[in-house]
Amino acid sequence: MAKSSAHGFALGVDIGGTFTDFALLDRVGGEIAVGKLLTDPGDLASGVMRGIAQILAENSVPAADVQVFVHGTTLATNALIERRGARTAFLVTRGFRDTLIMARECRYNIYDLEIDLPSPLVPRSLTFEINERLDAEGAVIVALDEGQVRRTAHQLVEQGVEAVAVCLLHSYRNPLHEQAVARILEQEAPGIAVSVSSDVVPDVGEYERASTTAANAYVRPPIRRYLEQLVTALEQAGTRAAPLMMTSEGGTISCETAMLYPVRLVESGPAGGILATTYFGATLGHDNLISFDMGGTTAKICVIDDGVPTRSSTFEAGRVYRFAKGSGLPLKVPVLEMIEIGAGGGSVAHGDELGLFGVGPQSAGASPGPACYGFGGDMPTVTDADLYLGYLDPVYFLGGRMPLHRDRAEQAIIKHVARPLKLSTERAAWGIHEVVNDNMARAAKIHCAERGKDARDYTLVAFGGAGPVHAYRVAQNLGIRRILYPARAGVMSAFGFLLAPPAFELLRADAAELDRVDLRAVRAHFAEMQAQGKALLQSAGVRASEVVVDREAAVRYRGQSSELFVSLPKGSITRRHLDAIRERFEAKYRAAYHRTNPRVPLEVVSWRAVLRGPQPKVSLHQTHSGRDARHALKGHRPVFFPEHSDFISCAVYDRYALSNGSCLQGPVIIEETESTVVVGTGARIEADELNNLLVTIVEGKGDAVAKKTRRKRGVRK
Amino acid sequence: MPVKKPRRATPRVTGKSVRAGRHFDPIDLEVLWNRLVTLVDEAAYAIIRTSMSKVVVEGRDFGVMLYDGEGNLLAADASIASKPGVTSVAVKELLNRFDAQDLRPGDVIVSNNPWWFMGHLNDIGVVAPLFYEDRLIGFIESMAHMADIGGLLSGVPREVYEEGLIIPPLKAVEGGQENATFFAMLEANVRVPEQVTSDVRALITGLHVMQESMSSFLSKHALDGLTDLSVAIRERSEAAMRRGIRDSIPEGIYRGSSSVDGFDGQALGIEVTITVRDGSMIIDYAGSAAQSPFGINSTLVYTNVWSLYVVKCITCPDVPNNQGTFAPITVTAPEGSLLNPIFPAPVKMKPSTGHYLPIAILDALKDVIPERILAESGNKSLVYLAGRKEDGRAFSDLIFVMGGMGARAGKDGLHTIGFPANSSNIPIEVLERSMPLRVREKGLRTDSGGAGRQRGGCGQFMEFESLSAFPLTVRAEHGKLDTPPAGLRGGLPGAAGGHYLNGRRVEDKVPVQLVKGDVMRLEIPGSGGTYAPHERDLLALYNDVQDGLVSRATARRHYGRSVAKMPAMVATKARAKVIAKNKRGNGKK
């Protein structure tokens, strides 16, 4: 890599649960270097600094030449999941002490009598009621009892509280009481970090707002400690770049902003992966993408339309039960929408003598892990099936760092699936592979259908340890014709961070029927959000003139409980905008539900503004030093392909040795350190200069089950 | 178009054992089965997103079902609705009434016969024939609880006629065209026409969504119909349920009982005899009270709902719902009894009875499988609110106020979680926006969770004030408000509940009218504990006292522990635990 350049280098660092990934980009030359280290949960900052020193040294880049530093960490998420955050108190309107405990009074699984619910972040004993009350319009019914707030502040100090979440009823309509509470707390208990709900997420719905605010408060002290350490260490190391933090919405914010709103840092890693997906898709001319990230326990799927990842306004942290919706803590934060299902390499297959069969969502995890790991696991997993079928090489798993035991995989499949179901081992192993693929494909299909989209119009982008092994069949299942396997998939997130613009989403909940919207109030909401957002972006180094604003309205028919987001045309808000809202809402609604409801009035529930700084311009120029395909051939091994109904001798290639323009035909296996690309018969694979692989599925619609049932019918006739 | 009065039907929900079908490879079957359930789920999500009422969205009081051509249930929405719609007999009844020749693509039949659907007129169901390549291959049904169905609001009905609009089975949509007469009739007879007609249309949307996806499912898999798949699915499910019953309940005859509050303070008995033999169960309610002159009667379909629900929880929670799953279970109740009333019995408040059937069943099994059942729960109050907004527009809706869920053998009960019926609350901020009332307080009731080694979950209080210039009608319906939910195996009962208007007790299920400034307070029962209180872990008790869930007096009286001494004892105990843990850890190494 170049020793130095006028525009310097950008460095992305992603701390994950197991590994910390590094991506170093030469901003002029377009070359990229990557690195990977085991995460040291005991001392995150030192680990990061060691990794930085290493990658800079390897590439002979002086620390002072790093001009952009973007960082994402699972610290906030892990603190929430493991309940290792600050000692946090909760302040709430008199009469509503149990808001956090009672949650939505709902079970996420109706048949499980042994059900557990996520425990609240704040115990009841640290919840304090405040004398005050607003009505639904935000008018004061009971004035704030400031003396009582003061006394409460003293109690908090006595109780050794480090952080406070304040969530008063209807404060999203009128923040004055919450702001006054915050002021008093800052005066009386200056050491305590205060988060108020009208600032963190001014949206209607007291439980979700309280839960989000509590989470923000809960992770503020640990995030602040970590970031302060990191900033000091970076300065000492001589980097001049102020670190930017990656958010769940796929933007970056300054460290100061991150310390105020650390709840925005959850799920930043996956957001980076989605940005990288979008980037690689765009460079190859594909704007409609489904990202497919399959790891050890779950698969994550995200839909990208016209080059823009789908957004959502809620996320659930730390689901306690089989990744079930509703079993985690709800957080109202802007996120790149992702569905996560319990399907990964470790998903366990089970079959019984009644002929019942299934894969997941239970996972063998890393310990005991799949049977083939030889760590004592005895249940057959997806990885075991993949190994048995020849998709994985027992001596080249993780680049050969971990030997796999095919005999143990086989025994587990026989014992728990083939024998009870009276199937051949081959059929059982293929069945495991097929069913887990179908579970993922169905999830993707529903996700598209909910938006009125057809999965067939998309390109699948596969990464994660197991993604490339399964992508081909998932694509076939969905009727997708093109699959992209991006290069350096192992550090997708860290690279994605370098593509993120500074960004911050804000919202104002002010429900009104569309025809009765108070235009002046809406203009004021947007003016306020823009002023606040611009200030936040400026702290991330963005000039006011560079800020771009996307405005949206959350709209529904009166009485409904879920909204669709529609974007607003440019310009000061006028009646014309309201007409545009109606048109756009109806178009979206019709696409999803095949009808509209002209007699029911529309209602705008909230307005939101996404403010963005300039998108970093990244163009990779890497002449990949591979040779032509013949030289990349590692050998042949028996691999099962359903279209041949048998194991056939299949060519195995070294991905790194493929050069620009290399072209292969399925069936083929292409190995790299972190994963293995498996492509079936009748597909064409091309490698580009960055070592991305693009697969075109030429033959065959539909999937194996469909074909088989069709065949059966033919036989019967 | 035959338009008949709903007549007394004698639905038999449990089918005979399914015949052996063509063989499907278990893996292919798993794939096809999952895909089928997904189609039903997609329709359910479409209903949730397009519905206008809180009962549907927050209460999840709806369902979507797919039937084969003979009316056998093949799949029901899995993850969304609050209860198994598996017991609807609408399709079978319709098959008796309609000539299949009269059904055309684009037809949708509507009805709210309480003896067919979920047991009262508020539940409207729509059924559409499913055509594929011009052949009738099955039926799809969706049903939901409507926010209003007309009828008497100010008093207690004595006949189903007083309970609202009766919709005989008729075509709401014919050949794709909406039946304007039906919608006009519906609009004219309900208090919130916009909401109710929108919800009926949401149900129809759900059917459309499923119709479309079903055609592509069948053509993709080159299936010419649902019959073979139906047989294979039902066969597997039935076998799984039989195994579940065998594995979880020893053979035998078990008797249990429970009661619900009637009117005028008298309790009505529920008696159940459960015969478990060879992987099948007969649940017989002989000996239960006669049908009531008031609307707490539970039609047999509804009696089935809650009986089958709790059996499934105990025996076979993971197998999807279909006719096969429930084939090994037969539910019977004498005609003319509270659990199988005769038309035109009033039925509007059927949850007040139906929600307590699981308690009787659990009571019967409490000595047989003590480790698998839970102490009695506090259920929930269903609160109907109807009135006018400031601009004169009518509103009518239903909210749920949950009691505690009973303690389990190894786990505490859950606070404010409805059992058996699941639903969610509506945010106070949303409630106060949509109705002229103000919630004054809402929280957990201290000491309402029954004492025990495992403590019962707490019930709640909720107090609200009418802000309306118009009268606000409130009818809060619980069913067993005055009886403390029983504990199990030495656990103590939870606290009973009460509904109050301006501090004066009001009778459960009886409507009251609030004028501006009137205050209604609901205290919902907690739930029972399991095992003797003195066995409770000291740290857990200490935390409960710190959190104010258990008062100091109760800690002393029921748990036999003095709180003053607690911190020291807890510290000692906690230290002992750490030491023990370290020892174990060392031992491993």
pTM for the model stands at 0.93
B411/chain A closest Cα distance in angstroms: 8
Instruction: Assess if residue B322 is contained within a domain.
Output: no
B472/chain A closest Cα distance in angstroms: 18
Examine the fold and report which residue of B536, B561, B583 is the final residue of a domain before the chain moves on. B536
Distance CA B435, CA B397 (A): 9
Q: Which residues of A touch B425 (CB under 8 A)?
A: 102, 104-106
**Any idea which of A144-148, A705-709, B52-56, B321-325 has the lowest mean pLDDT?**
A705-709
User: Does B312 sit within 8 Å of A709, measured CB to CB?
Assistant: no
Distance CA A246, CA A272 (A): 8
Is it the case that residue A219 has pLDDT exceeding 90?
yes
**Domain A84-218 classification at class level:** alpha beta
Whether the CA torsion B547, B553, B559, B561 is positive or negative: it is positive
User: Does B411 sit within 8 Å of A105, measured CB to CB?
Assistant: no
Instruction: Assess if residue B463 is contained within a domain.
Output: yes
Question: Which residue's entry shows tokens 């409770």?
Answer: B536
Choose the mutation target among A99, A105, A425 for the interface with B, i.e. most B CBs under 10 Å.
A105
DSSP B32-96: HHHHHHHHHHHHHHHHHHH---HHHHTT--EEEEEEETTS-EEEE--SSSSS-GGG--HHHHHHH
Indicate where chain A has its CATH 3.30.420.40 domain(s).
9-80+225-265
**Mean pLDDT value of segment B268-296:** 97
A158 touches chain B (CB under 8 A): no
**Mean pLDDT value of segment A665-675:** 92
Nearest to A354 among B240, B419, B430 (CB): B240
Instruction: Assess if residue B392 is contained within a domain.
Output: yes
Closest CA to B111 of B128, B126, B92, B130: B126
User: Does A439 sit within 8 Å of B222, measured CB to CB?
Assistant: no
A717 touches chain B (CB under 8 A): no
Question: DSSP state, B389?
Answer: -
For residues A120 and A193, the answer to whether their CB atoms sit within 8 Å is: no
For residues B353 and B297, the answer to whether their CB atoms sit within 8 Å is: yes
Q: Which residues of B touch A141 (CB under 8 A)?
A: 438
Distance CA A477, CA A706 (A): 9
Query: What pLDDT sits at residue B582?
Result: 54
Grade residue B15 by pLDDT with cuts at 50, 70 and 90.
very low
Nearest to A107 among B25, B27, B417 (CB): B417
User: Does B208 sit within 8 Å of A113, measured CB to CB?
Assistant: no
Q: pLDDT per residue over A572-593, tens digit each?
A: 999 999 999 999 999 998 887 7
Query: What pLDDT sits at residue B423?
Result: 85
392-421 in A: which are within 8 Å (CB) of B? 421
A423 touches chain B (CB under 8 A): yes
Q: Which residues of B touch A125 (CB under 8 A)?
A: 546-548
DSSP B296-316: T---HHHHHHHHHHHHHHHH-
| Chain B, nearest residue to A125 by Cα | B547
Nearest to B415 among A102, A430, A438 (CB): A102
Query: What pLDDT sits at residue B16?
Result: 37
- List Cβ neighbours of A529 (8 Å cut-off, separation of 6 or more): A506, A507, A508, A607, A608, A609, A611
Instruction: Assess if residue B339 is contained within a domain.
Output: no
Question: DSSP state, B554?
Answer: H
For the record, the structure tokens of B165 come out as 């609009």
A330 touches chain B (CB under 8 A): no
Grade residue B563 by pLDDT with cuts at 50, 70 and 90.
confident
Instruction: Assess if residue B191 is contained within a domain.
Output: yes
Closest CA to A692 of A380, A284, A299, A191: A284
Distance CA A389, CA A429 (A): 7
User: Does A98 sit within 8 Å of B444, measured CB to CB?
Assistant: yes
Q: Which residues of B touch A361 (CB under 8 A)?
A: none
Relative orientation angle of helices A425-449 and A704-716, to the nearest 10 degrees: 110
Indicate where chain A has its CATH 3.30.1490 domain(s).
503-612
3-state secondary structure of A446: helix
Query: What pLDDT sits at residue B62?
Result: 86
A357 touches chain B (CB under 8 A): yes
Phi/psi of residue B91, each to 5°? -65, -45
**Burial readout A160-186 (b: 16 or more C-beta within 10 A, e: otherwise):** ebbbbbbbbbbbbbbbebbbebbebbe
Q: Which residues of A touch B209 (CB under 8 A)?
A: 593-594
* 3-state DSSP percent of chain B in helix, strand and coil, to 5: 30, 25, 45
Query: What pLDDT sits at residue A601?
Result: 92
User: Does A423 sit within 8 Å of B28, measured CB to CB?
Assistant: no
Neighbours of B258 (CB within 10 A): 25
Query: What pLDDT sits at residue B564?
Result: 77
Examine the fold and report which residue of B196, B220, B238 is the final residue of a domain before the chain moves on. B238
User: Does B25 sit within 8 Å of A427, measured CB to CB?
Assistant: yes
Grade residue B587 by pLDDT with cuts at 50, 70 and 90.
very low
3.40.50.300, 3.30.420.40, 1.20.1440.120, 3.40.980.10: which CATH number matches A9-80+225-265? 3.30.420.40
Is it the case that residue A55 has pLDDT exceeding 60?
yes
Stated length of chain A: 717
Q: pLDDT per residue over A23-38, tens digit each?
A: 999 988 888 898 888 8
Query: What pLDDT sits at residue A561?
Result: 79
Q: Which residues of B touch A113 (CB under 8 A)?
A: 313-314, 372-374, 408
A558/chain B closest Cα distance in angstroms: 7
Nearest to B416 among A105, A355, A421 (CB): A105
What does pLDDT average to over chain A? 91
Query: What pLDDT sits at residue A450?
Result: 75
Query: What pLDDT sits at residue B117?
Result: 86
Q: Which residues of A touch B402 (CB under 8 A)?
A: 105
Is it the case that residue B517 has pLDDT exceeding 70?
yes
Distance CA B319, CA B314 (A): 12
A204 touches chain B (CB under 8 A): yes
For residues A339 and A330, the answer to whether their CB atoms sit within 8 Å is: no
Is it the case that residue A626 has pLDDT exceeding 80?
no
What does pLDDT average to over chain B? 89
Query: What pLDDT sits at residue A716?
Result: 34
Q: pLDDT per residue over A117-131, tens digit each?
A: 999 999 999 999 999
Half-sphere exposure of A343 (CA within 13 A, CB side): 28
**Burial readout B337-359 (b: 16 or more C-beta within 10 A, e: otherwise):** bbbbbebbbbbbbbbbbbbbbbb
**Mean pLDDT value of segment B178-207:** 94
Query: What pLDDT sits at residue A627?
Result: 61
User: Does A421 sit within 8 Å of B236, measured CB to CB?
Assistant: no
Grade residue B580 by pLDDT with cuts at 50, 70 and 90.
low
For the record, the structure tokens of A530 come out as 């823009």
- List Cβ neighbours of A583 (8 Å cut-off, separation of 6 or more): none
Phi/psi of residue A678, each to 5°? -115, 125
Alpha helical stretches, state H, A65-175: 75-81, 99-102, 146-158
Is it the case that residue A7 has pLDDT exceeding 90?
no
557-586 in A: which are within 8 Å (CB) of B? 557-562
Distance CA A392, CA A265 (A): 35
Is it the case that residue A595 has pLDDT exceeding 50?
yes
A469/chain B closest Cα distance in angstroms: 20
Nearest to A106 among B410, B422, B433 (CB): B422
Instruction: Assess if residue B273 is contained within a domain.
Output: no
User: Does A96 sit within 8 Å of B442, measured CB to CB?
Assistant: yes
3-state secondary structure of A234: helix
Q: What is the CATH number of domain A503-612?
A: 3.30.1490
Please count the residue pairs, one from chain A and one from chain B, whose beta carbons lie less than 8 angstroms apart.
220
Q: pLDDT per residue over B91-148, tens digit each?
A: 888 888 878 788 999 999 999 999 998 899 999 999 999 999 889 999 999 999 998 9
For residues A525 and A565, the answer to whether their CB atoms sit within 8 Å is: no
B7/chain A closest Cα distance in angstroms: 33
Grade residue A254 by pLDDT with cuts at 50, 70 and 90.
very high
User: Does B194 sit within 8 Å of A599, measured CB to CB?
Assistant: yes
Choose the mutation target among A111, A178, A434, A596 for the interface with B, i.e. most B CBs under 10 Å.
A111
**Any idea which of A105-114, A199-208, B523-532 has the lowest mean pLDDT?**
A105-114
Q: Which residues of A touch B410 (CB under 8 A)?
A: 114
| Chain B, nearest residue to A141 by Cα | B438
A293 touches chain B (CB under 8 A): no
Number of domains in chain B: 2
Q: By residue range, what is the domain housing residue B81?
A: 26-238
Distance CA B468, CA A670 (A): 71
**Mean pLDDT value of segment B499-521:** 96
Instruction: Assess if residue B231 is contained within a domain.
Output: yes
For the record, the structure tokens of B44 come out as 């359910």
* 3-state DSSP percent of chain A in helix, strand and coil, to 5: 35, 25, 35
Alpha helical stretches, state H, A69-205: 75-81, 99-102, 146-158, 176-188, 197-200
Q: What percent of chain B has pLDDT over 90?
A: 73
Distance CA B382, CA A429 (A): 50
For the record, the structure tokens of A88 come out as 């946090």
Distance CA B586, CA B570 (A): 24
A657/chain B closest Cα distance in angstroms: 38
ipTM above 0.95, yes or no: no
| Chain B, nearest residue to A429 by Cα | B27
Instruction: Assess if residue B71 is contained within a domain.
Output: yes
Helix (H) or strand (E) holding A713: helix A704-716
Neighbours of A361 (CB within 10 A): 18
A123 touches chain B (CB under 8 A): yes
B87/chain A closest Cα distance in angstroms: 16
Whether the CA torsion A363, A367, A372, A376 is positive or negative: it is negative
Choose the mutation target among B27, B246, B359 for the interface with A, i.e. most A CBs under 10 Å.
B27
Is it the case that residue A628 has pLDDT exceeding 80?
no
Q: Which residues of B touch A435 (CB under 8 A)?
A: 27, 30-31, 34
